[in-house]
Amino acid sequence: DTEVTQTPKHLVMGMTNKKSLKCEQHMGHRAMYWYKQKAKKPPELMFVYSYEKLSINESVPSRFSPECPNSSLLNLHLHALQPEDSALYLCASSQESGQGGYTFGSGTRLTVV
Amino acid sequence: DAKTTQPPSMDCAEGRAANLPCNHSTISGNEYVYWYRQIHSQGPQYIIHGLKNNETNEMASLIITEDRKSSTLILPHATLRDTAVYYCIVRVTGGGLLRGNTPLVFGKGTRLSVIA
């Protein structure tokens, strides 16, 4: 299995809702990442997990809460989002050394109404 | 503070070689050059990477100048499916995230349009 699977592919949520994005990989990668991508912009790094521990938080607002319950799963919990948080959320994984490149999922397209 | 400079857009005729340049004049000795691409509405895809030697794989070739201040990604026979945004990224890898390895940070990239 050489894929990163993200669910759901599309999500519409209200500003008072709580939802979660899920990411799964079975490549034995011990580093996992969340990126946010607005239209016509490059992906922006949000969080980095290394060996299931949060190692980088790029000053992301607390309404985004990541979780890595095991080495194969990465979640992003969403609460009280704003319309400007609407974006494509990408998950990626890699060997912890970073060698060999990152494998990205196809993303969750989030719309906040 | 961008570490790389790429042209915002390029066109290439189908079947011809696409040569995408990247300047990284402040690259450090332990930083690798990575190339990724992102086809519309998909996640980025790893293409190739190198330190100082030229590299080739089934997707592309990477030519790095001797002073390492610039590089060129070559798609030898571009097809319409190669239309995408191409990102050149320099970063430290190999030591692990806890030992100075830097995560992937994207710049603006080059939008390559392959034309029939």
CA distance A39 to B5: 21
CA dihedral angle for residue B4, residue B5, residue B11, residue B16, rounded to 10 degrees = -50
pLDDT tens by residue, A62-93: 999 999 999 999 999 999 999 999 999 999 99
Closest by CA to B61, choosing from B18, B23, B22, is B18
Interface of A with B in 55-74 (CB under 8 A): 55-56
Q: What is the pLDDT of residue A18?
A: 96
Query: Rounded to a whole number, what is the distance in Å from the CA of A62 to chain B's nearest CA?
Result: 21
Q: Residue B1 pLDDT more than 60?
A: no
CA distance B108 to B89: 10
CA distance A63 to A83: 13
Reading the block at residue B24, the tokens are 């990284």
Contact call for residues A104 and A90 (beta carbons, < 8 A):
yes
Half-sphere exposure of B43 (CA within 13 A, CB side): 23
On chain B, the residues whose CB falls within 8 A of the CB of A42 are 85, 87, 106-109
Q: How far out from the chain centre does Cα B92 lie?
A: 15
Residue contact A43–B103, C-beta within 8 A: no
On chain B, the residues whose CB falls within 8 A of the CB of A4 are 43
pLDDT tens by residue, B38-94: 999 899 999 999 999 899 999 999 999 999 999 999 999 999 999 999 999 998 876
Closest by CA to A42, choosing from A86, A77, A87, A76, is A87
Residue contact A98–B44, C-beta within 8 A: no
Q: How far out from the chain centre does Cα B116 lie?
A: 23
Query: Rounded to a whole number, what is the distance in Å from the CA of B78 to chain A's nearest CA?
Result: 22
